[in-house]
Structure 1
Amino acid sequence: MTSTFRESAVSHWDVHHLPRADGKTFLVTGGNAGIGYFVAEQLAGTGATVLLGSRDTTKAETAIASIRSLVPDAKLGHLRLDLSDLKSSVDTLGIERLEAVVCNAGVLLEDQPRQETADGLELTFATNHLGHFVLVHRLMPLLEAAEAGRVVTTGSFVGKSAELDLDDLQSKRDYQPKRTYARSKLAQMLFAFELDRRLREAGSTVLSVVDHPGGALDSLTPPRPVHPEPAGRKFPAGLLLQGKEAGAWPAVRAVLDPSVRGGEMFGPRVFGLRGEPRREPVRGKLADSALAARLWAASAELTR
C-alpha cells in the first residue's frame, strides 16, 4: 500500500473536463441518490457504461432519467442490489468485465433505535461495510477480467476520528446511531486498505482506492429530480463546505485518474472539507495494518 503522500503526476486534474472512458463499465452502489448519484452522472459524461446499484427500481429509473436529461447519450443500467441482504445476487450484471465499482451506498439512522437485518446483523454496519465486503468478493472475477480494475471505497471525514470496537462490531452495547455510522465508515476504509495489501501480495492488477467527500451538504447541492432545491440559506456553510456534486469529485478521480495507485486516498483539497480532489496521506489508524487484518477476519466470520 502507498501510505506516503504523493501528489499526482498529472499536472492538474480538471473536474470539469474528465478523460474519456468509452468502452468501460462502472458500477456505483447507491447511484440513485446523494453523492452516488453525482458520481454516476459525472462518470456517464465520459462515455462509459454506468450501472446504478439500488434496491429501489423506481428511484433508479428517476435517477437514470435525470442523468439522461443532462447527458442525452448516456449509457446507463440498473442493478437491483440490497446491501443489507448478504444474499443479494449480482448474477444479473450480464457483463464480461467491470473496470470499477464505487462502494458508495450507505445508511445513517438518526434518532432511531438499533435495527437488525434479516441476517441478524446491526443494520448500519451491515449495509455500509459488510454488504460491500461481500459484494467486492463477488465482483472480483469481473474486476480481474478488466485490464486494470478498481475498487473505490467511499469513506467519510467522520470515520477518520472514530474508534473501532472489534469486540462489539454489532453495537449491542450502548448503541448510538452517529457513532455506529462513523465506525462503519472507518471499517470501510480499513477494509479498502487491507484489500489493496492482499491484492498486491497476490500479484493482482486490481487496485483498491479510498475516497471521502469532505463536508457535503444538501443545502449546497445543485437541484436534480432526485434532489430537489433545498430550502434555507447557503452561507456561511458554503465558505467551508460544499454540495454533493463536488463531494463526488474524489470518487470520480479515483475511478478515472490514470496516475492512481493502489492504497491511495483522495479527498477535497481545502482542509479535507471542500474543493477539488487531491491525494491525502494515509496515516494513524487508517495505516494500522494489524487492526485492518483483524477487522477483515471478523468481517469474514460475520458474513460466512
Structure 2
Amino acid sequence: MSSSTSAPPPWDVHRPPRADGSLFMVTGGNAGIGYFVAEQLSATGATVVLAGRNPMKGEAACGSIRSRVPGARVRAVRLDLADLASIGPAVESLRSERLDAVVLNAGVALDDPPREETGAGHELMFGTNHLGHFALTQRLMPLLSAAPAARVVTMGSFAAKTERLDLDDLQSRTDYRPKRTYGRSKLAQMYFGLELDRRLRAARSTVASVVVHPGGALDSLTPSRPPVHVRTTAARLRGAPAALLLQGKDAGAWPAVRAALDPAVCGGQLWGPRVFGLRGRPRREPVWDHLADTDAAERLWSASCELTDTGFGFGDFGTTPPAP
C-alpha cells in the first residue's frame, strides 16, 4: 500500500521548479555568478530584476537571457551599492507590492592598493559588499514581508572561511590588505545573513534569510554568454586542469538558485557545492565555526546600523517584537 504523500523529487539544478508570478531581484545580475543566477531564475517563469550600477551592461545581460530563455521576463534597474542614495530609487523602480526573493550577490574585489572609499567615506569593499546590501535589505523588507514566504539569499565566499572580523577596524583604516579586506567584507555579509534570520525568527516573520557560497568558480570554466562573457579557446584549455576541483560561474550560481526556490531550504542555513565545498551540486553544510559567534554578529549589526544611518528594527520586519 503506497503512502498518500510522496517525497519531493531530488533537486535538479538543470530543471528548477516553476515560479510563475514570482518576483526576484539579483544584485550584480549583469555579470559573473549573478548573471547565471538571473538566467536560471528566469527559466522558472518568474520576473527577474537585474540590479547593477551600469544600465548598459544590465540591458546587455537582459538581452543575453532573452536569447536563451524564450519568454523570459527580465529587466534591469540601476543600483550602485557604494552610493546609499541610489537604493531608494532602485527599490521604487521595482513597481511591485511584494518581492519573493532578493539575492545579495553584487560585490567589489580589489587586488592592489591604495585603499579606496565610497562617497560616504566607507572602505570601498566593505561599504559596497556589506553596508550597501545591509541598507538595501532594510528598504526591501516591507516588500519581502508582503510575500507569503520570501527569501533573502546572501552570497558569501570561500575567501571568508579563513578570515576573522576586526570589529575595531571594520573599515581597514589601520591595516589595509586588499585580499584580506575583501574576505572580511564577505565574512561580514555572511554574519549579516545569519543574524538577519535570527532577528526574523524573533519577530515571527515569514521571511527567511539563507547564506550560500559558490565554491571555486572560474571564468575559464564558465560557458560563453556573449556579450556578457566570452570564453576563448585558449582560456578553456588553460582552465581544463582546474575542472577537477573547481567549476564555472554557471555552477557557482546553483546554491543561490536553490536557496531562493526550494521550500526545503530553511532560514539560518549555509549552502554550498557538494564536493569539498568547491564544486558540484548544492548541499547544506555546517555553519562555519566562526560564523556561529552571535556576539560578533550583534556588534557588526549595531555598527552597520550606525554607519548606514539605518534603524533596522522590528518595525522593518512588518511585525512587532514578541511579548516578554
Structure 1 residue 10 displacement after superposition: 4.7
Contact 1:250 1:268 in 2 (8 A): yes
Structure 1 residue 235 displacement after superposition: 2.3
Task: Tell me which moved more, 89-98 or 184-193.
Answer: 89-98
Given the alignment, which residue of 245, 253, 256 partners 1:240?
A: 245
Q: What is the one-letter code of the residue matched to 1:19? A: P
Aligned to 2:196: 195
Given the alignment, which residue of 3, 22, 33 partners 1:24?
A: 22
Partners of 1:54 and 1:120 lie apart in 2 by 21
What is the percent sequence identity of the aligned residues?
68
Partners of 2:212 and 2:34 lie apart in 1 by 12
Structure 1 unaligned blocks of 5 or more:
1-8
Q: CA RMSD in A?
A: 1.0
SS of residue in 1 equivalent to 2:153: strand
SS of residue in 2 equivalent to 1:101: strand
Partners of 1:281 and 1:11 lie apart in 2 by 23
Structure 1 residue 78 displacement after superposition: 1.2
Structure 1 residue 158 displacement after superposition: 1.1
**CA deviation vs aligned residue, 1:85-128 (integer Å, no higher than 9, x gap):** 11212222111100000000001011241001110111000000
SS of residue in 2 equivalent to 1:236: helix
Q: Does 1:271 align with 2:276?
A: yes
Contact 1:117 1:126 in 2 (8 A): yes
Partners of 1:280 and 1:257 lie apart in 2 by 16
Q: Does 1:177 align with 2:163?
A: no
SS of residue in 2 equivalent to 1:27: strand
Structure 1 residue 11 displacement after superposition: 5.1
Partners of 1:91 and 1:112 lie apart in 2 by 36
Aligned to 1:228: 230
Q: What is the one-letter code of the residue matched to 1:37? A: Y
Structure 1 residue 288 displacement after superposition: 1.1
Structure 2 unaligned blocks of 5 or more:
1-6, 310-324
Q: Does 1:61 align with 2:59?
A: yes
Q: Does 1:282 align with 2:287?
A: yes
Partners of 2:67 and 2:108 lie apart in 1 by 27
Partners of 1:11 and 1:267 lie apart in 2 by 20
Contact 2:161 2:288 in 1 (8 A): no
Q: Does 1:260 align with 2:273?
A: no
Superposition TM-score, scaled by structure 2 size: 0.90
Structure 1 residue 260 displacement after superposition: 1.1
Partners of 2:25 and 2:58 lie apart in 1 by 13
Q: What is the one-letter code of the residue matched to 1:281? A: P
Q: Does 1:210 align with 2:211?
A: yes
SS of residue in 2 equivalent to 1:258: coil
Partners of 2:282 and 2:263 lie apart in 1 by 14
Q: What is the one-letter code of the residue matched to 1:265? A: L
Give every structure 1 segment of 4 or more consecutive aligned residues whose post-TM-superposition deviation is greater than 3 Å. Answer: none
Q: Which has the larger radius of gyration?
A: 2
Q: Does 1:77 align with 2:71?
A: no
Aligned to 2:125: 124
Partners of 2:100 and 2:113 lie apart in 1 by 37
Aligned to 1:5: none
Contact 1:10 1:259 in 2 (8 A): no
Partners of 1:213 and 1:244 lie apart in 2 by 8
Structure 1 residue 174 displacement after superposition: 1.9
Contact 1:242 1:274 in 2 (8 A): yes
Contact 1:53 1:79 in 2 (8 A): yes
Aligned to 2:161: 160
